[in-house]
Amino acid sequence: MLLAPMILLAIFSYGPMYGLLIAFKDFSPGLGILESPWNNFEHFKRLFDDFLFIRALRNTIIISLLKILISFPAPIIFALLLNEVRHMKFKKVTQSISYLPHFMSWVILSAMIVEVFSPERGIVNYFITMFGGDPVHFLASKSAFIPILIGTDIWKEIGYAAIIYLATMSSIDTGLYEAAEMDGANRFHKMIHITIPSIMPMIIILFILRLGSVLNAGFDQILNLYNPLVYEVADIIDTYVYRAGLEQFQFDYATAVGLFKNVVGIILILGANAIIRRKSEHGIW
């Protein structure tokens, strides 16, 4: 029974991985992946010689950590709050509205965001000027750009990401809540002492997996929203490599960057898993 999926996995997931070889080669399409010459880690040397790559690495880590710090807990809190809502119709409508943005691409959402924050037509600046302030060009401001990234990321994903926590909550034994009620626990006590501990394994698994993509700070989102004025804080590895690598047909260079990101990702996953395993009974492996 397992043979067919194994074959598919081998062909489509593991087979193409040999393409990683071009990270160590000067790739020539005519010579192909295997015949292209080795280049003595030239792409990796180039990466760390390039001050713009180092800046992009720094930005990636900052944005990603901020997203983990702020965006990661947001759906947990949202799910906990939603779980406490007793009016089922309100709960369903709220949930539906909250996960709608997830299904829209960043190309569309970014057009909306640009309009919302427009210094001339945007609703945000409309209120600022209504109260006597000067319009602010948020998307051209280094200090405002990152909060906008985080905020819009939460707005887009909070509803959809909350589904998995809500599903986990629905499987909690209701007897626990009843017993807690008999012991005099209020709703807050139940949330703290029953709901959160019950969903903790799921939170930890998702957290470990999220760490694996710490060098993916949101390519689509940033590519569609940024401009050279905010490169200093918003140019991440993916956007820089897109401009310097893929647009210049440097697939080998782009692969080297991809490999670097994945190695960092897997180290973080293994490291986080090991630490969590040592401190608790949770973890992926």
Partner 1 sequence: MGKSKKSLSLVLLTILLTIGIVGCSSDEEASKEVNMEELPDVEDYSEKLTLHLSGSFTQGEIEDDNWVQKKLEEMFNVEIVNTKLNTWNADETSLAVASGDVPDTFSFTSGTLTAQEMYDGGVTRTIPKEMIKKYAPRYSEMLDENQPGWDLNLLSGSNEEYIQLTGLQSHTKGILWAPTFRLDWLEELGIEPPGEIKPVGPDGGLERIYFTDEAYSLEEVEEILKAFTFDDPDGNGKDDTYGLLPYNNQLHWMTTIMGAHGVAPGYNLMEDDKLKSAEISNKYKEGLKLLAKWYDMGIVDPEWTTLDVEKAWEKYKIGKTGYFTAQRSYVAMEDWTKLRAPQNLILSDPDAKLLVTAPEIGPDGQQGEGSWMPVTLLGDGFQIAKDVTDIELARILQIFDYINHDDEARWTLYGEVGEHSEWQGTPEESAILVKEEYPAEEGDMGFWAYNFRTYPGERLKWLTSEYTFNLMEQFFAKPEVVEEMAIRPYRYDLFEETKGLELEKRYSGQLDTIVDEFRMRAIVGEIDVDKEWDSYVENWLNNGGQEILDELEKAPKVSDLLAE
Interface residues with partner 1 (CB under 8 A) are 2-3, 6-7, 10-11, 14-16, 18, 27-35, 50-52, 114, 118-120, 137, 139-140, 227-229, 231-232, 235, 240, 243-251
Under a CB-based contact definition with an 8 Å cutoff, are residues 136 and 144 in contact? yes
Nearest approach, Cβ of 94 to partner 1 (angstroms)?
A: 32
Task: Give alpha helix (H) positions in 171-250.
Answer: 174-182, 187-190, 196-212, 219-225, 231-234, 237-244
Nearest approach, Cβ of 228 to partner 1 (angstroms)?
A: 4
Integer Cα distance of 114 and 85 in angstroms: 34
Nearest approach, Cβ of 47 to partner 1 (angstroms)?
A: 12
Quick one: 98 or 239, whose CB is closer to partner 1? 239
Nearest approach, Cβ of 268 to partner 1 (angstroms)?
A: 27
- Tell me the two tokens of residue 169: 């909550």
Quick one: 152 or 195, whose CB is closer to partner 1? 152
Quick one: 199 or 233, whose CB is closer to partner 1? 233
Host H or E run for residue 122: none
Quick one: 243 or 277, whose CB is closer to partner 1? 243
Under a CB-based contact definition with an 8 Å cutoff, are residues 100 and 190 in contact? no
Nearest approach, Cβ of 238 to partner 1 (angstroms)?
A: 13
Secondary structure (3-state) at 25: strand
Integer Cα distance of 36 and 24 in angstroms: 10
Quick one: 193 or 243, whose CB is closer to partner 1? 243
- Tell me the two tokens of residue 122: 């945007």
